[in-house]
Homo-oligomer: A and B are copies of this chain.
Amino acid sequence: MDQEEAVTAAVLVIGDEILSGRTKDKNIGFIAEYLTSIGIDLKEVRVVPDEEDEIVAAVNALRVRYTYLFTTGGIGPTHDDITADSIAKAFGVGISEDERAIEEMLTRVSRADLTPARLRMARIPHGADLVRNAVSSAPGFRLDNVIVMAGVPAIMQSMMDYVTPTLRTGKRMLSVSLRADAREGDVAEPFGLLAKAYPDVMMGSYPFNDEHGYNTNLVLRSRDPDRLAAAKAEVEAMLAALPGRAGKIP
């Protein structure tokens, strides 16, 4: 594992129900936090409908750009579950019912219950490794750098846990959060100067308001603990020199 090289990722959420608003996605935030915690930088997210051309185009755009691509959704038993076939098409490989997947499913389903619809869930692109589903047995899979997971949050989370030990991870991103006790518009200039002075420390500014009015959280992020500590000290000195005034204007 190269501790210095950044490891990147994209997430592709597949599903009409997210785009219609019927289902509120909970996976993006979970995966984002999860990847950050293991030292992988999430760089892009896309949500596309259950349409083969859209899935293939997004998979091929994202898998070449980032170290890993994680997909969620579209691996169930119904006609609109077309993720596995779309992944096979994106890679130009065949796909068929996979004996390993059937075996995993048989730990939870009797052979009599393995209807043609359920057997769709055992369709795995050739060359893929299975990703175990600890919740309901029908597996996801990993093909090259693409990890294909279920859309149901509990199942997706079990798949993330399963696949994580196999991932290359980077040096973990460290972060500190400072409450400015100032309006974003008042802190913006000195904070911007410090951001320029520390190009290797990412600095973000997040307004919020509470019962005292508008206020701002400043977040510093770096892989280098020394640089992070130095930047933090300078930001704290900058804040101490500001008139501390939460107000009604952002």
Contacts and interface: CB of A to CB of B under 8 A. Distances in A.
Interface of A: 13, 16-25, 28-36, 41-50, 54, 76-80, 108-109, 113, 115-118, 120-121, 136-138, 152, 173, 175, 184-189, 191-192, 195-196, 202-207, 214, 219, 221, 248-250
Nearest to A105: B249
A19 B70 CA distance: 14
B186 A115 contact: yes
The main secondary structure of chain A at its interface with chain B is mixed
Contacts of A205: 76, 78-80
- The CB with the most chain B CB atoms within 10 A, among A13, A16, A79, A196, is that of A79
A113 B80 CA distance: 55
Nearest to A136: B250
A188 B78 CA distance: 5
A22 B206 CA distance: 10
A16 B207 CA distance: 14
